[in-house]
Structure formats: structure tokens, C-alpha cells
Amino acid sequence: MIAVYGADLRARFRGLDRRHGIILTREGRAAEFSPFIEYDDAYAARWLACAHEALAGELPAPRRDHIAVNVTVPAVDPERAHAMVLASGGCTTAKVKVAETGQDLSADLARLEAVRDALGPAGHIRVDANTGWDLSEAARVLPQLDRAAGGLQYAEQPVADVADLATLRRQIDVPLAADESIRRSADPLAVRRLAAADYAIIKVQPLGGVRAAMDLAEALALPVVVSSALESSVGIALGLRLAAALDCELACGLATVNLFAEDVTSSPLRPSGGMLPVRDVLPDRIDAVRESGEVERVWRERLARVAALAGIDLSDYEDEQ
């Protein structure tokens, strides 16, 4: 099966109100292809390689059957941020989006204070700026966010340039995590060479699959947090397989199905007790969220281009309706 899905998001996230992607199935297995629409075909080929690997069924055996996860809090108002943490399914770690275009520092500070109140003093808070600051701004702002949060576990990708990330790490006391400097870089190992980060954010689709992600994690030699690329439960299931094959001591960023208003499955991967189970997902609700018309055409044409570029034959997936 090849099916284009669309799902509304409960809060605007990464500039999106609705998430799209493709679910592929073969011989009882399901995988997801959902590169963000602005990504070019060459980069999207990694995402398809990930799905192809998953459908081949040759994944490493999991070491654990449950993974601790963080709640992800978009750039929402403090009241909503507080409510999202309380409704997270028992998560004791929160990743909070900051540096949102059109918002100022006061909004970030208020959001962090609300999240701390909801988590209590023992919870962990991390922030994600998605490269939203330059070096001088990050050095000025992060200590303030650290105080508002009652201590940050880390700040994820506050600046875009890996050399600036390394400089920032030496200027402030807040630990740093690299995301875009790993998954969007032609030289991800620069993070290690420059000692630019304390943690590595690893995402299975953007890195080309479980084994490629594991190899890169080993080469980086940093503590790893496996995170989502805002996938449906089908994509999250593969992220959980990666986390279960790695030594992840910190909560992983894989609870983002909570941001979806609906899912491709009747058994979505939502946390309980701050944990997610490592299990397969059956896309048994695909017809309820299946796209048609222009959206389907655009995604199918994109899939065909990327498959041709990657040398992947799609005939095995077509079209068990």
C-alpha cells in the first residue's frame, strides 16, 4: 500500500497546522515517508531509505521494551503550556520551543515558568531554539531562560553554525545539544571534532534509517536523545526501535503523537507513566485520514522522484487498497 495521509495538529508546530506524509506497507509491515515539504529530493532520499530499511525487516533487536519520553511544548501561551504538561501522560521531562518568529523573550520566559510549575521541582526542562539566535543573542538569552526554568537540562541547537555552537558552549554554563548540526550537515562529525555539544539529537528518518543512525551515534560518541520528526505513530514506532537499540539514558523526544488531532492507527503511541512501548503499529485508520486530490498528487509525484533518485523500486508497495 502507498497512502498519503493528512492530520491536523492540536497546536501550530514548526510553522505547520497540518502534517502530511506517506504510509507504505509490505508483507504486514508499515513505514513512513514524511520529509517536510521544503526539503529537496536529495535530502528526502534519506527519509525514503529509512522506510525501505524498515520494510525489509532487518532491524537490530531491541534492548528494552519501553522508552522514557519527554512532552513537547510548542510556542503556546503559558496557560496552554501548563495544561499540555499536565495532560502529557506522566512525562517528567519537557522540551519547550523558544525563539519563535514573532514572539519576544518575555513569552519564552512565561512559558518556561508555567512548564516548571506544572512539572514541579524534580522535573527536567530542555529548550529547543531551532537555530533561532545568533551567537551573541544566544549567549545573552540562555542564562535568562535557565533561571526561568529553574535550571535547564540542555538547550537544543540555539545557533545554526557549528563553530558558533562550540564557542557558545565555552561561554555559558547551560549544556548544549546538536540537532540540525547533525542531521542537516554534510559533516556531522564536526560536532565531535569541535566539542560543540554535550548531547546529540538523533532522528531516524532524516538520518536514513536505524542502522545509519546507530553508526552516526557511535561515531559522535556523545550521549544520545532520539527524537521525532513529527511523524504519525508509524514513524514514531521506528524511532522507538532506534532508541531501544541504543543506550539512551535521558528521556527521548518521541511523544509528539500527542500533538496530532488524529492518527493513522486506532492504537496511537501516546505516553503512559512517561513511557512509550516498543511495538509495531498497524495503520488501520489510514482510510480515515487518507488525502486525495492535489495533496495526494503532489506527494505521490514527490515519492516517485525520490525513489528514482535513490534507486528504490516502489512496485512492491503499490497499491493494496
Q: Are 1 and 286 in contact (CB under 8 A)?
A: yes
Catalytic residue, candidates 52, 203, 241, 302: 203
Place of cell 545539544: 177
Sign of CA dihedral 222, 225, 230, 234: positive
Run of H or E residues at 71 = strand 71-73
CB atoms within 10 A of CB 194: 16
Cα(298)–Cα(296) distance, rounded to whole angstroms? 6
Catalytic residue among 46, 66, 82, 97: 97
Going from the C-alpha of 46 to that of each of 3, 227, 241, 309, the distances in angstroms are 19, 16, 17, 11
Q: How far is CA 44 from CA 91, 131, 180, 308, in A?
A: 31, 21, 15, 12
Task: Mark whether 95 is an active-site residue.
Answer: no
Instruction: Please list the active-site residues.
Output: 97, 203
